[in-house]
Amino acid sequence: MEDPTQEQLENSEHLEKRTIGGELRYYVKNIKAHWPVVEDAPNAEGQEAWWTADGKFHATHAQLRRDSFIGVV
């Protein structure tokens, strides 16, 4: 699975563009709708997932990082 291009990230209706510390990021708008595992987690509030402009995926929840690694995302 290839990383998304910046154009794909820009055009996604499921992502919200934010600049954090000078870095452009594309955050998943409704993370609970996309990954039910987050909703079921006891620390679900505050979990985030995003792509950087170079198409790399990042997440605060370990399961999301694992899903990304095996290509679920």
Which pLDDT belongs to residue 9? 92
Decide if pLDDT at 1 tops 70.
Answer: no
Parse the chain into domains and list their residue ranges: 6-69
Q: What is the pLDDT of residue 19?
A: 97
Residue 72: exposed, middle, or buried by beta-carbon count in 10 A (0-12, 13-18, 19+)? exposed
More confident residue, 42 or 11: 11
| Mean pLDDT of all residues belonging to the chain | 79
Q: Which helix (H) or strand (E) holds 20?
A: strand 15-20
pLDDT digits (tens, 9 = 90+) for 30-65: 877 777 766 666 666 677 889 999 999 888 876 665
